[in-house]
């Protein structure tokens, strides 16, 4: 059994016969995923259409395995019971049946779902003009809603040009888990992430200093307002003392490297200000 195969011919969007002939040959060879550019992205511009087809051929088999696992887990043990209807969010904000979920439509499906959720929640509060700010572990997604969803038909994700309908989402490479470090000259944030485990220093799992810890250090995140779900047992509050100690150690390291005397919380204030400035300047 072979993996994915993509076909993108120069004029395939207007004359698909040759792509279909190649697909028939690939199917005879044994490829299980065959993505054709005229089906994936029936538009002009060969390079972006080809990139989109490559992404679809790469991701679709992975998604198919995931969808099958979810469907199996949701299938009731009793034959008389109907299995639930399984649908997935797509990058353009719409839902699709599980069997029709394609790789090219999954790239920004998570952030797109965030936009739809923000709009629906705001509508319940009587608001129809919002700016969405979706901060995750490694990045922050910013969106705009002014009564209608804003979409784009061409975008670039991780250097890959995609031609497919998507929500208009702008991303800043700074999230709550982005790691703080000193490179000998100045503070740096990311692109490395602490992830969910070990997570930030304040999570009590021995993790590195992150943007989250900076916000704890400068008082923007108050441990008393968070549930006690941290530490090895998942029953402790955020560790503000560990964050303070880690910044003090970082200050000593910087003093040793630069022969200066930085304030222990200086890194936290700089990173917090830097991230806020980046988010504001980008948008």
Q: Determine, yes or no, domain membership for 85.
A: no
Predicted local distance difference test score (pLDDT) of residue 276:
55
Chosen domain end from 134, 151, 172:
172
Residue 119 has pLDDT above 70, yes or no: yes
φ, ψ for residue 274, nearest 5 deg:
-65, -45
Across all residues in the chain, what is the average pLDDT?
Answer: 85
Can you give the pLDDT at residue 270? 55
Tell me the mean pLDDT in the region 259-279: 57
What average pLDDT does range 117-145 have in this prediction?
Answer: 91
Task: Count structural domains, the chain.
Answer: 3
pLDDT at 21 over 90: yes
What pLDDT is attached to residue 250?
A: 85
* Residue 261 pLDDT: 67
pLDDT at 275: 53
Residues 187 and 155 occupy one common structural domain:
no
Tell me how far apart the alpha carbons of residues 95 and 88 are, in angstroms, rounded to a whole number: 5
Q: What is the mean pLDDT of residues 69-77?
A: 82
Q: What confidence score (pLDDT) does residue 22 get?
A: 92
Q: Are 157 and 170 in contact (CB under 8 A)?
A: no
Give the model's pLDDT for residue 282.
46
Asked if pLDDT for residue 268 goes beyond 60, the answer is no
**β-bridge partners, 193:** 178
Pairing of strands 31-36, 2-7: parallel
Q: Helix or strand or coil: residue 86?
A: coil
**Strand 160-162 relative to strand 155-157, pairing:** antiparallel
Residue 139 confidence (pLDDT): 82
Is residue 90 a part of any domain in this protein? no
**Inside any domain, residue 255:** yes
pLDDT band of 248, cuts 50, 70, 90: confident
- Dihedral pair phi/psi, residue 83, rounded to 5°: -70, 150
Domain that holds residue 53: 2-76+95-105
CA dist 169 and 104 (Å) reads 16
């Amino acid at each position: 059994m072979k993996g994915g195969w993509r076909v993108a011919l120069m004029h395939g969007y207007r004359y698909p016969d040759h792509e279909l002939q190649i697909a028939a040959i690939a199917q005879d060879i044994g490829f299980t995923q065959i993505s054709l550019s005229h089906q994936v992205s029936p538009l002009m511009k060969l390079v972006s259409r080809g990139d989109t087809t490559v992404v679809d051929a790469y991701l679709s088999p992975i998604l198919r395995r995931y969808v099958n696992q979810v469907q199996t887990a949701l299938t009731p043990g009793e034959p008389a019971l109907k299995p639930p209807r399984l649908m997935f969010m797509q990058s353009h904000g719409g839902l699709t049946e599980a069997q029709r979920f394609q790789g090219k439509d999954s790239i920004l499906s998570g952030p797109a779902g965030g936009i739809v959720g923000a709009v629906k929640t705001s509508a319940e509060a009587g608001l129809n003009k919002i700016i969405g700010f979706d901060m995750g572990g490694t990045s922050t997604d910013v969106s705009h809603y002014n009564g209608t969803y804003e979409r784009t038909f061409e975008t670039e994700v991780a250097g890959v040009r995609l031609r497919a309908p998507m929500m208009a989402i702008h991303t800043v490479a700074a999230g709550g888990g982005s790691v703080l470090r000193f490179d000998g000259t100045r503070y740096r944030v990311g692109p490395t992430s602490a992830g969910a485990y070990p997570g930030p220093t304040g999570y009590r799992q021995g993790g590195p200093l992150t943007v989250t810890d900076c916000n704890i250090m400068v008082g923007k995140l108050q441990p008393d307002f968070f549930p006690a779900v941290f530490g090895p047992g998942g029953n402790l509050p955020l560790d503000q003392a560990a964050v303070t100690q880690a910044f003090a150690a970082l200050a000593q390291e910087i003093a040793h490297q630069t022969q200066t005397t930085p304030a222990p919380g200086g890194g936290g204030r700089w990173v917090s200000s830097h991230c806020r400035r980046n988010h504001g300047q980008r948008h």
